[in-house]
Structure 1
Amino acid sequence: MMIRKISIKFLIGFFLIFSLSFVVLDQTVKEFIRSSNQSLVTDELEGLKNNSNGYVYQAFLINHYSNNQLYFGEIAKEIAVDLNRMTDSRVGIYSLTGKLLYTPDRSAFPSDMQSDLQQAVAGNTAYSITYNGKSTTVLFSYPVIIDGAKVGILRFHKDFSSLYQQTGQILQITLYIALAIFVAAFLFSYILSRHITIPLVQLTKASTEVKKGNLGIRLHFKRKDEIGRLAENFNDMIGKISHQIEIIEKDRDHLKQLHEQEKRFFDNITHELKTPLTSILGYAEIIRQNGEKDPIFFTKGMNHIIEESRRLHSMVLKLLEVSRNNHMTHERRIVDAGIILRDVCESMTIRANRYHKRIQYDVIDELLLLGDRDGVRQLFINLIDNAIKHSLPGSIVSVKGKRVEDRIEFVFSNPSDPLDSEYISRLFQPFYFVHSVDIEEGSVGLGLSIVKSIIKQMDGAIHITNEHNFTIVTVQLIALSEVEMETSS
């Protein structure tokens, strides 16, 4: 897993950084303490040298001796004893050649000539440090010069164990504190890395589930930092993806439905066009063969040809009307919809009588609006025709027109069979049939589609309800205001 590798990298990286930092700190502190101790030792030995030189010089002056090596050897014991007491150090008196002349404690000075003594024989001041367990000693040698002449060598054996033990304890405490700090920092860094990587592991698992198609997964982090925000964004993203997939599925089903509807339309329109054409062709061929030999058949055939031709013409006009309403915008003018509706109701009375039905209308005066006169007439014709065809036998089609505040409302109602809400929602789709009677009557299901197109152009609204065995169609259009009437006039 990728996230596990990140956790291991975090762990190894923290370990290497803290280990390297601890080693660097350890060496730095040790070097600082060593340099500091060396500076302290040098300063103390320098003071020891100055004090010892003063003492030896006074000894030469007090006894009025010449500054030669012979006299230095004669007072070697006295110098060694006095300096041993005065400096709290063990003292050795040496000749200029490095030969031990006198010392109160021979065990303090090795018999072999070490580096500090070699440097003193060469005329230099030098010291060497010896570490032996918990003890630290310094051998310090330098040539004694009286009036510009070397007379011998003083060598000191001094114990610096307390100084080095104290600095060693300081170093140890410092390293322990640093180690504790580094361990705490390492643990904190490890916990922090876990705090970051564990949510990433969960996010990876969630994204893998989403990749497999599981869009119901969600992340729940009770955090207010960037990772918490990332989880919220992830949940929102999955939610939006789920919503988009739902929309796509609905669109897919809708396209499938439209495809089926289109196929049904072509089947229906083919049947509707084929049937009258076949009938027309058959009658025309018989009439051409027989001519007017059979007047009754001739009249019947010609009437049938005329009726079927009108039927074909009506269907073609309705198809053209749908196309025209979908792609053209009519110029709006002041229209008195009340006058048009009353005229349509009177003209449609003949059609209603054919179905043994009646039209009863109640329309007030001056229902003025902006629209297309032909479009408004076509709107009323289609709605009343639809009410006549789908009302129960012997029923009354009710038509009302009135003004409601700033709108004009038209209500068309007729007794009918119950309609499901699913059918009602699909009534405005082109070529949709609710009852088989539509096909029998020669309709191709375009009437309500044309109505909706006209109302949409006029910024109106239409609603269809079916309650208590009554189908009610309500149309609301924007009424012409007094300001608009004055402007138009």
Structure 2
Amino acid sequence: MFRTIRAKFVVGFFLIFCLSFLVLNLTLKEVIRSSNQKIITSDLIELKNNANVYVRQAFLIHHFTNNDLYFGQMAEEMIDDLHRASSSDVAAYTVDGILLYASDGSAFSSRSTDDLKQALDGKTAYTITYTGNIGSVYYSYPVIIDGVKVGILRYVKDFSPLYEQSGRILNFIFYVALAIFAAAFLFSYLLSRHITIPLVKLTRASTEVIGGNLNIRSDIRRRDEIGRLAVNFNEMIGRIHSQIATIAHDRDRLKELNEQEKRFFDNVTHELKTPLTSILGYAEVIRENGTSDPVFFDKGMNHIVDESRRLHGMVLNLLEVSRRKTERGTFEIVKAGVILLDVCDAMEIRAKRYKKTIGHSVQDGLYVLGQGDRLRQLFINLLDNAIKYGSARSEITVKAESDAGAGIIRFEFANIGETLRHDQLAEIFEPFYSGDRRFKEEGSVGLGLSIVKSIVDDHDGTIRMDVEDGLTIVHVELPAASGEDAV
């Protein structure tokens, strides 16, 4: 296993270095070739511009009208002057490509005449010929005076120093790169060995763990990533026991959830059974005695009616709790602020019954995408809860405002009175939970806040309860909607 991993490293690094070395050399050659071409082109353009200035001045001084004839007459003198000025061999040709004069006839006996042929067609062209580090350029262009082509000038310029310099640079870079890649390959080989040996040790240790040996530990002591891997391996073995404990905890939590579900149904059964038993008992006594005892008859009938209403309310609450698992109904843009004000006015009578008042501050233009009836039930349940558990002769405050930056509407219901402990707030919205309050309104089964939570969740909102210094505050946040087409 160890030799296989190391072989893969070595072969992989070798292929990568060979390919990189080849690409580097080809790239450098292309860069130098392109740079040489730019230098040659710039030099030739300067050469052409200087020659054009010289030729134009000669024509202007002598005022010749037969330009092509004069070009032939002055060819020898012109070629000698240009040869001395440019330090290059120069030749003059007629517009038909006939050689008029050359500073060195042998220099223009080359077989390569592509540049001259293009000059005859009115183009400027050059041809590069080089062997090894010796390079020369044949450069031809038409001479045009007053829009008339009068002849052709052709240069042979030696660029051997440029190519010799380029060759030296390439050779230097080649040997430097070869040395660098050789050193890198050697380093990669040693690195692969440095990596694979501890990996093999860790592999053997992990095999022991798979076999059930949790007492094994890695003895690798390094300060790099592999050393950290060895430390993590040892910590992993140590944490297996804690993971087992976590699994046991999750098992106990699942059991607790199952027990909570059982308690939920037990509570439902108990809360439904109590009024049914009471109703059945009074009904059987009334059936046996009839109306012979009017006082008992009225008392029994009133009790039956009260318990029936209580039973009806509990059934409706249970149905509402179960709605969170069903599909949401149709939503529309509703005036949440208007609904809240209506609920505050309607609940004022119930608040007075408990010797309390309701103060509200509701901002105009509060719109929510939702179901108006369920939002009304949300506000009723929160206000009813505040009324039931608020202190006598206290004021319940209701606030509603829009937060345009966050795109939400905030509702706040606050009352002074008995409060829950902070550790109970997380469970307050669970069904049948009523905390450890010392009082509980008759008929309440702890479903109100659970229903509130389901309504808020269905409207993609959030709800939380805070308590401080005898003050209970319920915060509700719902996504805001545009007021167009509000109902």
- Deviation, structure 1 residue 233: 6.6
Distance 1:475 1:197, change over 3 A: closer
CA RMSD of aligned residues (A): 4.0
Distance 1:345 1:435, change over 3 A: farther
- Residue aligning to 2:337: 338
- Asked if 1:443 corresponds to 2:444, the answer is yes
C-alpha contact (below 8 Å) 1:326/1:453 kept by paired residues: no
Separation in structure 2 between the aligned mates of residue 413 and residue 420 of structure 1, nearest angstrom: 16
- Residue aligning to 2:312: 313
Separation in structure 1 between the aligned mates of residue 450 and residue 414 of structure 2, nearest angstrom: 18
| TM score, norm. by length of structure 1 | 0.52
Moved more, 255-264 or 363-372: 255-264
- Residue aligning to 2:56: none
Counterparts of residues 80-229 of structure 1 (less than 5 Å): 196=198, 199-200=201-202, 203=205, 207=209, 211=212, 221-222=221-222, 224=224, 228=227
Moved more, 461-470 or 191-200: 191-200
- Asked if 1:429 corresponds to 2:444, the answer is no
Matched residue of 1:339: which SS?
A: helix
- Deviation, structure 1 residue 373: 0.7
Separation in structure 2 between the aligned mates of residue 458 and residue 469 of structure 1, nearest angstrom: 30
Structure 1: which amino acid aligns with 2:475? T
- Residue aligning to 2:477: 476
C-alpha contact (below 8 Å) 2:279/2:304 kept by paired residues: yes
Separation in structure 2 between the aligned mates of residue 212 and residue 420 of structure 1, nearest angstrom: 48
- Residue aligning to 1:303: 302
C-alpha contact (below 8 Å) 1:395/1:415 kept by paired residues: yes
* 1:224-283 Cα distance to aligned partner (Å, 9 max, x none): 47x547536736866996886576455434323323323333333233222211211121
- Residue aligning to 1:127: none
- Deviation, structure 1 residue 472: 0.5
Matched residue of 1:369: which SS?
A: strand
- Deviation, structure 1 residue 286: 1.8
C-alpha contact (below 8 Å) 1:206/1:218 kept by paired residues: no
Structure 2: which amino acid aligns with 1:410? F
Matched residue of 2:317: which SS?
A: helix
Separation in structure 2 between the aligned mates of residue 436 and residue 193 of structure 1, nearest angstrom: 66
- Residue aligning to 1:268: 267
- Residue aligning to 2:258: 259
Separation in structure 2 between the aligned mates of residue 341 and residue 219 of structure 1, nearest angstrom: 70
Separation in structure 2 between the aligned mates of residue 450 and residue 350 of structure 1, nearest angstrom: 23
How many residues are treated as equivalent by the alignment? 297
Matched residue of 1:476: which SS?
A: strand
Distance 1:204 1:391, change over 3 A: same
Distance 1:222 1:457, change over 3 A: same
Distance 1:432 1:243, change over 3 A: farther
Matched residue of 1:348: which SS?
A: helix
Matched residue of 2:464: which SS?
A: strand
- Deviation, structure 1 residue 307: 0.7
- Residue aligning to 2:377: 378
- Deviation, structure 1 residue 200: 4.4
Separation in structure 2 between the aligned mates of residue 234 and residue 423 of structure 1, nearest angstrom: 41
Separation in structure 2 between the aligned mates of residue 194 and residue 328 of structure 1, nearest angstrom: 58
Separation in structure 2 between the aligned mates of residue 291 and residue 315 of structure 1, nearest angstrom: 29
C-alpha contact (below 8 Å) 2:336/2:367 kept by paired residues: yes
Matched residue of 1:433: which SS?
A: coil
- Residue aligning to 2:284: 285
Task: For structure 1, list consecutive stretches of 5 or more residues without a partner in the other structure.
Answer: 1-5, 8-187
Structure 2: which amino acid aligns with 1:203? A
Separation in structure 2 between the aligned mates of residue 387 and residue 220 of structure 1, nearest angstrom: 65
* 1:284-311 Cα distance to aligned partner (Å, 9 max, x none): 1122122222323222211111110010
Distance 1:238 1:425, change over 3 A: farther
Structure 2: which amino acid aligns with 1:222? R
Structure 2: which amino acid aligns with 1:476? E
Distance 1:357 1:224, change over 3 A: same
Distance 1:233 1:289, change over 3 A: same
Distance 1:245 1:375, change over 3 A: farther
Task: For structure 2, list consecutive stretches of 5 or more residues without a partner in the other structure.
Answer: 3-189
Distance 1:219 1:242, change over 3 A: farther
Matched residue of 1:393: which SS?
A: coil
- Residue aligning to 2:138: none
Separation in structure 2 between the aligned mates of residue 246 and residue 198 of structure 1, nearest angstrom: 31
- Residue aligning to 2:395: 396
Separation in structure 2 between the aligned mates of residue 395 and residue 415 of structure 1, nearest angstrom: 7
Structure 1: which amino acid aligns with 2:364? D
Distance 1:366 1:280, change over 3 A: same
Structure 2: which amino acid aligns with 1:312? L
Structure 2: which amino acid aligns with 1:207? V
Structure 2: which amino acid aligns with 1:318? N
Structure 1: which amino acid aligns with 2:417? S
Separation in structure 2 between the aligned mates of residue 425 and residue 197 of structure 1, nearest angstrom: 48
Identity of aligned residues (%): 51
- Deviation, structure 1 residue 448: 1.6
Separation in structure 2 between the aligned mates of residue 351 and residue 218 of structure 1, nearest angstrom: 73
- Residue aligning to 1:465: 466
| TM score, norm. by length of structure 2 | 0.53
Matched residue of 2:414: which SS?
A: strand
C-alpha contact (below 8 Å) 1:438/1:444 kept by paired residues: no
- Residue aligning to 2:408: 407
* 1:336-386 Cα distance to aligned partner (Å, 9 max, x none): 111111111222223323333322222232211111111101111111112
Structure 1: which amino acid aligns with 2:378? L
Separation in structure 2 between the aligned mates of residue 469 and residue 419 of structure 1, nearest angstrom: 9
- Residue aligning to 1:117: none
Matched residue of 1:306: which SS?
A: helix
Separation in structure 2 between the aligned mates of residue 314 and residue 223 of structure 1, nearest angstrom: 69
Q: Who wins on radius of gyration, i.e. which is larger?
A: 1
Structure 1: which amino acid aligns with 2:222? K
C-alpha contact (below 8 Å) 2:417/2:472 kept by paired residues: yes
Separation in structure 1 between the aligned mates of residue 408 and residue 215 of structure 2, nearest angstrom: 51
- Asked if 1:327 corresponds to 2:326, the answer is yes
